Amino acid sequence: MRPFAYRRAEGPDDAVRSLETGGRFIAGGTNLLDLMKLGVEHPHQLVDIARLPNDAIHETDAGGLRIGARVSNTALAADPRVRRRWPLLSSALLSGASPQLRNKATTGGNLLQRTRCEYFQDLGRPCNKRAPGSGCGALEGYNRNHAILGTSEHCIATHPSDMAVALTALDAVVETRMRDGRTRSLPIRELHCLPDPRPEVEHVLEHDELIEQVVLPAPPDGAAHIYRKARDRASYAFALVSVAVVLRTVGDEVREARVALGGVAPKPWHATRIEERLRNAPATHESFLEAARAELAPAIGRGHNDFKVPLAERLIVTTLAEAAGLAHVPHRELIR
Ligand SMILES: Cc1cc2nc3c(=O)[nH]c(=O)nc-3n(C[C@H](O)[C@H](O)[C@H](O)COP(=O)(O)OP(=O)(O)OC[C@H]3O[C@@H](n4cnc5c(N)ncnc54)[C@H](O)[C@@H]3O)c2cc1C
Ligand code: SF4
Determine the average pLDDT of the residues in 120-129: 98
Report the run of H or E that residue 296 belongs to, with start and end: helix 285-296
For residue 334, what pLDDT is reported? 87
Per-residue pLDDT for 269 more than 80?
yes
Q: How far is the CA of 161 from the centre of ligand 1 (A)?
A: 8
Is residue 105 in some structural domain?
no
pLDDT tens digits for 36-87? Answer: 999 999 999 999 999 999 999 999 999 999 999 999 999 999 999 999 999 9
Q: Is the pTM of this model over 0.85?
A: yes
For residue 330, what pLDDT is reported? 86
Please tell me the distance from the alpha carbon of residue 329 to that of residue 288, in angstroms, as a whole number: 12
For all residues of the chain together, what is the average pLDDT? 97
Question: Which of 48, 63, 82 is where one domain is finished?
Answer: 48
Per-residue pLDDT for 336 more than 80?
no
Is residue 319 in some structural domain?
yes
pLDDT tens digits for 280-289? Answer: 999 999 999 9
Number of domains forming the structure of the chain: 2
Q: How far is the CA of 264 from the centre of ligand 2 (A)?
A: 14
Could you tell me what percent of the chain has a pLDDT over 70?
A: 100
Q: How far is the CA of 122 from the centre of ligand 2 (A)?
A: 10
Under the banding of pLDDT at 50, 70 and 90, the label for residue 328 is confident
Q: How far is the CA of 165 from the centre of ligand 2 (A)?
A: 21
Is residue 71 in some structural domain?
no
Please tell me the distance from the alpha carbon of residue 88 to that of residue 324, in angstroms, as a whole number: 15
Q: Residue 257 is part of a domain; what is its CATH number?
A: 3.30.390.50
**250: containing domain:** 225-334
- Please state whether beta strands 210-216 and 65-68 pair in parallel, antiparallel, or not at all (unpaired): antiparallel
3-state secondary structure 79-93: CHHHHHHCHHHHHHH
- Residue 52's nearest CA partner among 12, 105, 102, 20 is 12
Per-residue pLDDT for 273 more than 90?
yes
For residue 172, what pLDDT is reported? 98
Determine the average pLDDT of the residues in 21-50: 97
Please tell me the distance from the alpha carbon of residue 223 to that of residue 218, in angstroms, as a whole number: 11
- E strand spans, the chain: 5-8, 23-26, 45-48, 57-59, 65-68, 173-177, 183-187, 210-216, 224-230, 241-250, 253-262, 269-270
Is residue 25 in some structural domain?
yes
Is residue 274 in some structural domain?
yes
For residue 332, what pLDDT is reported? 85
Q: Residue 33 is part of a domain; what is its CATH number?
A: 3.30.43
Residues contacting residue 319 through CB under 8 Å, at least 6 positions apart: 226, 228, 243, 245
Is residue 208 in some structural domain?
no
Is residue 291 in some structural domain?
yes
Per-residue pLDDT for 118 more than 90?
yes
Is residue 264 in some structural domain?
yes
Residue whose CB lies within 8 A of the most ligand 1 atoms, among 70, 110, 176, for a mutation test: 110
Nearest CA to ligand 2 atom 8: 127
- Report which bound ligand comes closest to the CA of 142: 2
Please tell me the distance from the alpha carbon of residue 94 to that of residue 299, in angstroms, as a whole number: 28
pLDDT tens digits for 169-223? Answer: 999 999 999 999 999 999 999 999 999 999 999 999 999 999 999 999 999 999 9
pLDDT tens digits for 291-320? Answer: 999 999 999 999 999 999 999 999 999 999
pLDDT tens digits for 214-253? Answer: 999 999 999 999 999 999 998 899 999 999 999 999 999 9
Residue 171 Ramachandran class (φ > 0 left, ψ -120 to 50 alpha, else beta): left
For residue 235, what pLDDT is reported? 87
For residue 59, what pLDDT is reported? 98
